[in-house]
Structure 1
Amino acid sequence: MARKNLDPSSSPRALLGAELRVARERAGMSQAELGERLFVSGTFIGQLEAGTRRMHLEYAKQIDEILGTDGFFARNCVAAAESKYPDHFAEAAEAEARATAIREYAPLTIPGLLQTEAYARAVCRAYQPTAPERVIDELVTNRLDRAALLAEPTTPLLWCVFGEAVLRCEVGGPGVMAEALKHITALIRAHRIIVQVIPFRAGAHAAMGGSLQLLASDDGPTLAYVQGNGTGQLFDDPATVSRHSLTYDLLTASALSPAQSLALIESVVEGYEREAAA
């Protein structure tokens, strides 16, 4: 019997996962068996069925072929994957929202979770200098919406390591920088986040190539997200994640202590405030 397309207004990813479970069980296959056919783990299949992982089109097409579902999953995975974030970041944003612990290294800009509106607007405008204002407004809104997870008093744990360039690069000017860094120091003093700074004098360190985010959750393995300019890749392979975890540990060893980092950030704020008042 032909299957109807899913209603995209009804949690499409969860519905698609439920349909996958039904189709797999109807075919008499375990999660591990289906995973073997797709060259992924049974855990990966379980995450698809639970709706905690996005089903990409290439997997959907293979699933249709293996389970004989007449193109159902290929037709519906696009609706299930809809996101307000860019394609390279969409899955990482979803993992971020589910995370119980986030460890992040930022070499040049304040991480999105910690940006103020003025800072986020300056960054988005720099990335897209000719975009209409409505596009910039939407980008800024989406970025600030991510920070809602910090409204919880303790979860997720957010531990950030900044390169000193994050403090020194005048995004939006001294007034914007003073506001942005004071927002961070307020969160530190409220014991909501942990921040360390790698000073310029530390020299070479383990993550000279770009930013890194490690995302731990209760419903899946720790993930590593590595991002470049307009690109990003999310890893769940244990060996790869372990390598990136070691990188993060090395970064914390190269950085100032949290107390020394707070003192440095507050001294930089004072400089920006004097500059803004001049």
Structure 2
Amino acid sequence: MPAKKDPDASENIPCFYGAELRYRREQAGLTLEQLAEGSYRGVSYLSLIERGERRMPIDLARHVDKTLGTDGFFERRCEDASKARRTGHSANFEDVPDLEKEAVSLEEWQPEVIPGLLQTEAYMRGLIRHGAPYTKPEAAEERISARMARAKLWELPDRPEYWGIVRESVIRNTPLSAAVMAEQLEHVSALIRSTESIFQIVPETTFWHPLRRGTAKIMTFADAPQLVWSDGNFVGQMIDYPPLVRQYRRAYDLLRAAALSPEASLTLIDEVARTYRDEADKEGRPA
């Protein structure tokens, strides 16, 4: 077995924070399992924090301080470590990219746009141009880079299973050019097929269905409770209250039944992509 690798505390603030957590834990003679006991988090979660790869949530910081007798040190410093990780994501979303990689399955509902993990760069630029035209160029580039970095999840050998659902209007009603939409839908189709993922479309003729308002990303983990991320135009929240998570779980399962089958959904995406591609080709031809 290879030797255990110590986190490099000099690399950045989260690594320094994680190295200190590991030092204090080992000084107390506790294993990760013992430190996690009594908290709402799993062992793998704590391990990621010690390696500087995850932010310490406030509830866990308080638990660690109480267990290790560190007089509030980790609670006081967890916000500093959090701020150091914020690049291209809003403060309330910053945990989501790491959670996506840690999850064993991701299930999401997006009624307005293509889900972020499936977006092309051109599509993302279009979203910013039409949805947030006041965004400064440097901030826009940070957001785009962060979004593209999230998509590296698809390259992981142990990537989570993925299931996405969108409304039909997402692929049909758009201010973006035919060329951008053709590329985007071709990308979705190829990615879903190559990764053996599932993608469904809720047809426009289905006016009433579960989760009509807002988004939902249900994240399932091997050794921790399910979490749900939901957002609107200017707000977002992580939901971990078990009864509410179960409500989202039941609503999402009903939403699957309201959508077209996975096969029919991909067929529709391919048909719409061809229509956009033909339109783009015509626009590119000389008069």
Q: Same fold by TM (over 0.5)?
A: yes
1:29-49 CA distances to partner (integer Å, 9 max, x unpaired)?
x7689x5xxxxxx23386774
Whichever residue aligns with residue 44 of structure 1, its letter is R
1:218, 1:269 → 2: CA distance? 36
Judged with a 3 Å threshold, the aligned counterparts in structure 2 of structure 1 residues 145 and 228 are, in CA distance, closer, same or farther, namely same
Conservation of the 8 A alpha-carbon contact between 1:124 and 1:136: yes
Cα displacement (A) at 1:132: 2.6
2:254 maps to 1:253: no
Equivalent in the alignment of 2:79: 78
Residues 27-74 of structure 1: CA deviation (Å, up to 9, x unaligned)? xxx7689x5xxxxxx233867743456434577578768976345224
Matches within 5 A, 1:133-172: 133-152=137-156, 155-172=159-176
User: TM-score if structure 1 supplies the norm length?
Assistant: 0.81
Code of the residue aligned with 2:189 in structure 1: it is T
In structure 1, the partner of 2:242 is 238
Return the letter of the residue paired with 1:18.
R
**Aligned pairs for 1:12-31 within 5 A:** 12=16, 14-15=18-19, 17-18=21-22, 21=25
Note closer, same or farther for the CA distance 1:24–1:126 as it changes in structure 2 (3 Å cut).
Answer: farther
Aligned length in residues: 263
CA RMSD of aligned residues (A): 2.9
CA distance in 2, matches of 1:245, 1:13: 34
Partner residue of 1:102 out of 93, 106, 119: 106
User: What SS does the corresponding residue of 1:11 show, helix, strand or coil?
Assistant: helix
TM-score, normalised with respect to structure 2: 0.79
Residues 104 and 221 in structure 2, CA contact (< 8 A), matched pair in contact too: yes
Alpha-carbon distance in 1 for matches of 2:151, 2:120: 10
C-alpha distance in structure 1 between counterparts of 2:225 and 2:20, whole Å: 21
SS at 2:95 equivalent: helix
| 1:267 positional shift | 1.5
How many Å separate the matches in 2 of 1:188 and 1:108? Answer: 19
> Matches of 1:166 and 1:199 in 2, distance apart?
10
- Gaps spanning 5+ residues in structure 1: where? 1-5, 36-41
Residue number in structure 2 paired with 1:69: 70
Aligned residues of 1:171 and 1:177 also touching (Cα < 8 A): no
Are the equivalent residues in 2 in contact too, given 1:21–1:49 (CA < 8 A)? Answer: no
Q: Give how far 1:207 is off.
A: 0.5
Q: 2:135 aligns with which of 119, 125, 131?
A: 131
Deviations 1:120-141 (A, max 9, x none): 1111233431223222111111
Alpha carbons of structure 1 residues 139 and 46: separation in structure 2 relative to 1, 3 Å: same
Aligned residue for 1:196, secondary structure, equals strand
Instruction: Decide whether aligned partners of structure 1 residues 23 and 71 sit closer, same or farther in structure 2, where only a CA change above 3 A counts.
Output: farther
TM superposition shift of 1:77 = 0.9
- Is 129-138 or 12-21 further displaced after alignment? 12-21
Q: How far does residue 10 in structure 1 lie from its aligned partner after superposition?
A: 6.0
Whole-Å Cα distance in 2 between the matches of residues 215 and 56 of structure 1? 17
Q: Any residues of structure 2 matched to 1:181-192 within 5 Å, and which? A: 181-192=185-196
Give identity over the alignment, percent. 34
Query: What's the CA shift string for 1:180-217, capped at 9, x where partnerless?
Result: 00101112332432111000112211011111101122
Residue equivalent to 1:222: 226
